[in-house]
Amino acid sequence: MNEADQHTTETLDERPTRGNRLYPRVTSFRSRRGSLTDPQQQCWDRRWPELGKEVGDDPLDVEAWFGRSAPLVLEIGSGTGTAALAMAGAEPEVNLIAVEVYKPGIAQTLQGIERSYDSDAPIENLRILRGDAVEVLEKMLTTESLTGVRVFFPDPWPKARHHKRRLLQAPTFALIADRLKPGGVLHVATDHADYAEAIAEVGDAEPRLARFSGTAPIGLERPVTKFEDKAHQVGSAINEFVWGKIGA
């Protein structure tokens, strides 16, 4: 993904999303045009039918899609897939679903999976959903189905009038808390100080979550993404949070 374009090429759609939702909201993502290069399109044509699905209204048959039963982790807003690819490779025993709306980012993730097939560590445990992660949580995944949720560098929507677009607000925390199994973890990282404060406050207020300490059921080691690297270069501190679902 061309992260430099993220804050410049968006078309803001302020209309509340309608339909069968748990709560009315505006979306946390921008409508961005993004065409695929020829190699990306060719990789998409080869791999998407097996490795990807559009977000829809029906519950996901996760076991059928992965061909096995295993702890399930959801990464929300996976961008170009840097973290998803590295973490899937590091945790072959986990089923990992990356959700992203940005098609070129998904195409790069598919290319990463395909490249791994030529290595001695092919990535077999990563699938991709294209669309709104909130809809995935609401409609496609069931209560206590997830062992982990990852949200790395969610769009900060820095202007006060755009704060309503932030992904990590109380309704999303509540939804994540419901979908996590007891003992499951929510892992969040942000480079935006003001968003970090809001995330900490709202996450700590969710009664089914508590700050996590101990051995997590999933890996917490993140690779540095291009996006995070830029944050380091401009001196932004990275705030990282891990909550566990209580009741294990």
Binding site for ligand SAM (CB under 6 A): 28-29, 76-79, 82, 99-102, 105, 132-134, 152-155, 167, 225, 227-228
Side chain identity, residue 152:
F
DSSP 94-158: SEEEEEES-HHHHHHHHHHHHHHTTSSS---SEEEEES-HHHIIIIIS-TT-EEEEEEES-----
Q: Is 144 annotated as a binding residue?
A: no
Is 155 among the residues known to form the active site? yes
CA dist., res. 98 & res. 75, Å (int): 5
Q: How far is the CB of 107 from ligand SAM (least distance, A)?
A: 13
Q: How far is the CB of 84 from ligand SAM (least distance, A)?
A: 9
**Nearest in space to 247 (alpha carbons), one of 168, 149, 178, 175:** 178
Comparison of 1 and 180: residue with beta carbon closer to ligand SAM: 1
Q: Is 100 annotated as a binding residue?
A: yes
CA dist., res. 103 & res. 182, Å (int): 33
Q: How far is the CB of 22 from ligand SAM (least distance, A)?
A: 14
Using DSSP, state whether 245 is helix, strand or coil.
Answer: strand
Q: How far is the CB of 178 from ligand SAM (least distance, A)?
A: 17
Comparison of 113 and 247: residue with beta carbon closer to ligand SAM: 113
- From the candidates 155, 178, 194, 204, give the one annotated as an active-site residue: 155
Place of tokens 């060719």: 42
Comparison of 26 and 210: residue with beta carbon closer to ligand SAM: 26
Q: Is 227 annotated as a binding residue?
A: yes
Q: Is 120 annotated as a binding residue?
A: no
Residue 235 contacts by C-beta under 8 Å, 6 or more apart in sequence? none
**E-strand stretches of the chain:** 52-54, 72-76, 95-100, 126-130, 146-152, 180-190, 209-211, 239-245
Comparison of 234 and 248: residue with beta carbon closer to ligand SAM: 234
Output the known binding site. 75, 100, 132, 155, 159, 191, 225-228
Q: Mind telling me the catalytic residues?
A: 155
Output the known binding site for substrate. 159, 191, 225-228
Output the known binding site for S-adenosyl-L-methionine. 75, 100, 132, 155
